[in-house]
């Protein structure tokens, strides 16, 4: 697959093009998991965390650690990665088995997030920290600008609502899991005393819990 368009979007010409090829290689295309993009995903996650932490440290010199941590969590979340991957159009370049693609795998946002992290890992190995730093600076800066105040995770907000109303903390439980192992979908439920439970689906338990918490919060506010 020709990745020249993606190279132009990233603004980095790879000395070792195989790194980018590997970053876009889904596990469904190889019998060896170590030949897929999973190892680069692991590395890219750490690279993103370091660069975002430095950006926040420099951008908000007067904020305490707790506020920086809340910003950090939002910026390295799966939601943020999916958003950036969407802006780049990364799903077009992911190499996956035909059967998975035909089954809608290319629309799986978890794969987009994983590939985005893998690309950052590939950039780091090919060009040192400056290569992913340029990409992260270009694509994540608008996300930082959007939140004038530190964002609050829906699960944290729901917990604070329960505490303010002097009731037991929210209880989460898994309702169901579906889909193949490499692309599961979870349905999670959250309940607080005095309100009907809320349910939501997600590509991970954490994301489904967040969506359920937000849904319950919206209902409680109404």
Query: In the chain, pLDDT over 70 holds for what percent of residues?
Result: 96
Q: What is the mean pLDDT of residues 74-96?
A: 93
Residue 99 has pLDDT above 90, yes or no: no
pTM: 0.72
The answer to the question of whether 211 is labelled as a binding residue is no
| Catalytic residue set | 45, 117
Residue 12 has what DSSP assignment? -
pLDDT score at 197:
96
Give the containing element (helix H, strand E) for 178. Answer: strand 171-178
Q: Is the pLDDT of residue 192 over 90?
A: yes
117 is in an annotated binding site: yes
Paired tokens of 155: 């699960």
- What would the pLDDT profile of 125-182 be if each residue is shown by its tens digit? 999 999 999 999 999 999 999 877 777 788 988 998 999 999 999 999 999 999 887 7
What 3 state SS string does 20-51 have? HHHHCECHHHCCCHHHCCHHHHHHHHHHHHHH
How confident is residue 33, by pLDDT bands cut at 50, 70 and 90?
A: confident
Range in 147-151, 204-208, 218-222 with the lowest mean pLDDT: 147-151
Q: Considering the chain, what is the average pLDDT of its residues?
A: 91
Q: Per the annotation, does 37 bind a ligand?
A: no
Domains and CATH numbers, the chain: 4-146 (1.10.1520.10), 154-221 (3.30.160.20)
* Distance from C-alpha of 158 to C-alpha of 180, rounded to nearest angstrom: 31
On the question of pLDDT at 104 being above 70, the answer is no
């Amino acid at each position: 697959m020709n990745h020249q368009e993606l190279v132009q979007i990233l603004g980095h010409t790879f000395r070792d093009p195989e790194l980018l090829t590997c970053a876009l290689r889904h596990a469904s295309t190889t019998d060896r998991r170590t030949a897929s993009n999973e190892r680069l995903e692991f590395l890219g996650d750490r690279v993103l965390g370091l660069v975002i932490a430095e950006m926040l440290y420099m951008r908000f010199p007067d904020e305490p650690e707790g506020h920086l941590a809340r910003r950090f969590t939002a910026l390295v979340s799966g939601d943020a990665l999916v958003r950036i991957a969407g802006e780049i159009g990364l799903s077009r370049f992911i190499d996956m088995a035909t059967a998975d693609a035909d089954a809608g795998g290319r629309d799986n946002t978890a794969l987009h997030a994983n590939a985005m992290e893998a690309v950052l890992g590939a950039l780091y190995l090919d060009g040192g920290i400056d290569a992913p730093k340029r990409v992260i600076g270009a694509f994540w800066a608008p996300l930082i600008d959007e939140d004038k105040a530190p964002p609050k995770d829906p699960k944290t907000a729901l917990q604070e609502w329960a505490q303010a109303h002097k009731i037991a903390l929210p209880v989460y439980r898994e309702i169901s899991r579906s889909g193949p192992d490499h692309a599961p979908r979870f349905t999670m439920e959250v309940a607080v005393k005095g309100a009907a439970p809320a349910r939501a689906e997600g590509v991970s338990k954490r994301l489904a819990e967040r969506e359920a918490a937000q849904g319950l919060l919206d209902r409680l506010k109404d």
